[in-house]
Amino acid sequence: MYRKIDDFLKDWKNEEEFTLKIFSLISAESKSERIHEDVRTLDRLAWHLTQTITEMGKRAGLLAEDLLEHQDIPETIEIISDIYKTNSELLCRAVRLKWTDSALEELVPMYGDEWMKGKILHILLTHQTHHRGQMTVIMRVLGIPVPGLYGPSKEEWVAMGLPAMN
């Protein structure tokens, strides 16, 4: 749970960069390729991450409306990336303007429960990390190089002239 707005905003900016790094490696050919009938496609997951910003933002009272609700997946990853960036900025601006550090322990109705505002910020971040992890597994299966986000990836170890960890 977050107790300081600035801590969330710093973490979110880093995670936003990681998310956009993942998005940038998805090609037009791979974006909607299915690896299994029960596994979402990369473009579906990218769009889900994008829609979650406005969906949770509205539920939390940060955004006036959920402009992405019921919208179909855009045609390209580039469009999804642009929409993601725009809404990420809107979310950060709203958090900074509407919430204070002292308000992060206030309860907000969320999904049939009540969550502290600081928990909402934490869930926004970890939800994104969770689905990015799914995306990297799908990318690996599709033969797309995976970027190192929290440390070097297999490809990055090799590029550094070091043995890749198994």
Direct distance between the N- and C-terminal alpha carbons of the chain, in angstroms, rounded to an integer = 33
Q: 166 lies in a domain?
A: no
Is residue 127 marked as binding? yes
pLDDT on residue 144: 95
pLDDT band at 155 (very low <50, low <70, confident <90, very high): confident
Is residue 48 marked as binding? yes
* Token pair 């799908």 in the structure block, residue: 138
pLDDT band at 160 (very low <50, low <70, confident <90, very high): confident
Q: 164 lies in a domain?
A: no
Q: Decide: 49 and 19 in contact? Cβ < 8 Å.
A: yes
Q: How many domains does the chain have?
A: 1
Residue 3 has pLDDT above 80, yes or no: yes
User: pTM here?
Assistant: 0.94
Q: Decide: 20 and 50 in contact? Cβ < 8 Å.
A: no
Q: Which residue from 25, 20, 164, 29 is spatially nearest to 80, judged by alpha carbons? A: 20
Residue 159 has pLDDT above 80, yes or no: yes
27-82 confidence digits (pLDDT tens) = 999 999 999 999 999 999 999 999 999 999 999 999 999 999 999 999 999 999 99
pLDDT on residue 11: 98
- Give the CATH number of the domain where residue 27 resides: 1.20.120.450
92-129 confidence digits (pLDDT tens) = 999 999 999 999 999 999 999 999 999 999 999 999 99
Instruction: List the beta bridge partners of residue 108.
Output: 115
pLDDT on residue 52: 98
66: containing domain? 5-159
